[in-house]
Amino acid sequence: MRIFAPAKVNLHLAVGSAADDGYHEVTTVLQALAFGDTVTITPGTAFGFACTPDLGLKPEDNLACRAAKAMAAAFDRSLDVAIALDKRVPSGAGLGGGSADAAAVILGLAKLWGIEESDAALAKVARGLGADVPFFLMGGAALYRGRGDVLERILEPLQASLVVVKPAEPVPTGQAYAAFDLLGSSAPPEPDALISALGSGDLREVGRNLYNNLTPASVGLVPAIGGALRLVWESHGVVGAALAGSGSAVFGICRRPADARACAEESRRAGLWAVATRAHHAGCVVETTA
């Protein structure tokens, strides 16, 4: 069984002050991408987990492996499967690759074990693994609040080409939030204008209303993010650009696929990782089964 695990970007990310427990209130609009990883599950064998390329993690530290064990515990099943993860989404980028991989494992095992995708236990397993994981079971575009894990509203997905560009240096999420707390922030706007633009399909208004108040903190940690943002903003056909999550990847919304490809090529010539892609209207998808 092969499952596609999409990356994501935050069209809106408004982080609030830290609560007493250290967690931040978050309002975010997530959008899935047609670029991502692939998870392959082979049943009928002793449990095994492999990741290509090797990320230097022990299997038990990989979120996809943890998802498999959480599913086995939740449904009292034996893990007689081999899981292979083909990584294309860079780590430390803010693109949600690890969360998407975990969701792909949840979806794949559910299908293998005859569990309905609507089973509430799947969402419970996903929430236990991370704030973004439930989104990837659904995908498209959605508004979340709470700690970024409370679904408020499913939105009209973006219909556009995008370019994603990443400097070499990653941004550890914890460091980004710690830097954000030190810098402070004014009250962030609500995403109403962005949501309205998504509903009407007004690409220029979507670009105009992109928002991420983690940007100053992340640029302070990795100054190259600022250069990547400028490069994308100044590229032909880009109607809006923003930081992806806590970074270090940035993204641009483009008028045409050719504009996304041209920006990606220019970024690679500048020594940056880059990919041209498009918005994805679903979450993780089982692509093939034996």
Q: Is residue 29 part of a domain?
A: yes
Judgement on whether residues 255 and 209 belong to the same structural domain of the protein: yes
The residue annotated as part of the active site, out of 8, 37, 87, 166, is 8
CA atoms 189, 33, 167, 197: torsion sign:
negative
For the chain, the C-alpha Rg in angstroms (whole number) is 18
What is the predicted pLDDT for the residue at 160?
97
Question: Of 155, 175, 206, at which residue does a domain stop?
Answer: 155
Question: Of 155, 175, 197, at which residue does a domain stop?
Answer: 155
Q: Which pLDDT band, with edges at 50, 70 and 90, does 148 fall under?
A: confident
69 is catalytic: no
Residue 14 in contact with residue 27, Cβ under 8 Å? Answer: yes
Residue listed under structure tokens 């007493």? 20
pTM greater than 0.85: yes
User: Residues 13-48: pLDDT tens digits?
Assistant: 999 877 767 678 899 999 999 999 999 999 988 899
Express as a percent the part of the chain with pLDDT over 90.
81
Which domain, by its residues, includes 231? 161-278
Judgement on whether residues 22 and 57 belong to the same structural domain of the protein: yes
What is the predicted pLDDT for the residue at 284?
96
User: Residues 52-74: pLDDT tens digits?
Assistant: 998 888 888 899 999 999 999 99
Judgement on whether residues 81 and 196 belong to the same structural domain of the protein: no
Judgement on whether residues 183 and 167 belong to the same structural domain of the protein: yes
Question: Does residue 172 sit in helix, strand or coil?
Answer: coil
What is the predicted pLDDT for the residue at 59?
83
- Residue 288 scores a pLDDT above 90: no
The residue annotated as part of the active site, out of 37, 101, 132, 259, is 132
- Residue 169 scores a pLDDT above 70: yes
Judgement on whether residues 32 and 96 belong to the same structural domain of the protein: yes
Q: How far apart are CA 129 and CA 62, in angstroms?
A: 11
Q: What is the mean pLDDT of residues 123-149?
A: 92
111 is catalytic: no
Question: Of 130, 155, 180, at which residue does a domain stop?
Answer: 155
